[in-house]
Amino acid sequence: MKILVTGGAGFIASHLVDELARKGHTIIVVDSLIEGHLSNIQSVIDSSVCKFIQADIRDKTFMLEKLSPVELVYHFAADPDVRNSVPNPMSSYDHNMNGTITVLEYMRKHNIKRMVFASSGGTVYGEVETQPIYENVPFSPISPYGASKAAAEMYLSAYAHAYQMKIASVRFANIFGERSLHGVGWDFYHHLRENPRELTILGDGTQQKSYLHVSDTINAVLLVADNLLKQTRAYEYFNVGSESWYSVDEIAAIFEKEMGLDNVTHHYTGGSKGWVGDVARMLLSIEKLEKLGYKPQVPYPEGVHRYVSWMEQLGK
């Protein structure tokens, strides 16, 4: 197929581009490179199966007049910074809402019928008392980022029904792994490399969330995409995560063990959350996705091993 991947030079989407190339598809990547890195997909570009266009999905002239039609869209382009969305809420709104609607208008103009959308698990649901969280839990975001993803999903539903599209959202847990340049694992590794004796932990260390290695994430995304042809409803949504969750203290211990460190002193900033807008507890139910044949393959400690090995090779 001819496939468009927005944000395809970013962390998660670049792994998707790799897999789509391996499967023999022709790929167009549109990425502004505000967050993405061309090096993530350079080898695929060099192989001539991927055309890269540096452009912003908010640019209506480009999206509606210059971008050629495709058969399937993976919409991953976004402002991904949850924490920064609190002091800068308009950035999340502009990228995640205006950008998404422009992509939908591109699809409507060219009669493109299928899309997979990269949404967010913890941030759209907000603070939920009962864990795990099922897909039918009402949205109650506590950050502007979460609100922008939730609102985007509403437009996806509207366009899918109004214009006979088949769209599915994948609501991610905390995704980590090679090519990720932010998040708790990235921070812990670099802080510990700078000072192997002490580590500052945001909050009180008891925040507990589910984490998923990027390789399992891509497997889930492809399952959802394959299911679009059989999808009975115009708009669907799936949690993408694992069956386990870890506290921040447990994550610190796993990284310290992987880095060969003992007796690290922890300092806590205090409070039940890491920052304003942080969801302190999040475990996504993956029962719905499992019905498509999904099963995570990479245990969290193994994922940390792969991630740390990559960061060591990266030398950053």
Residues forming the active site? 145
The 10 Å Cβ neighbour count of residue 164 is 10
User: Which amino acid, residue 48?
Assistant: S
- What residues are paired with 28 via a beta bridge? 4, 51
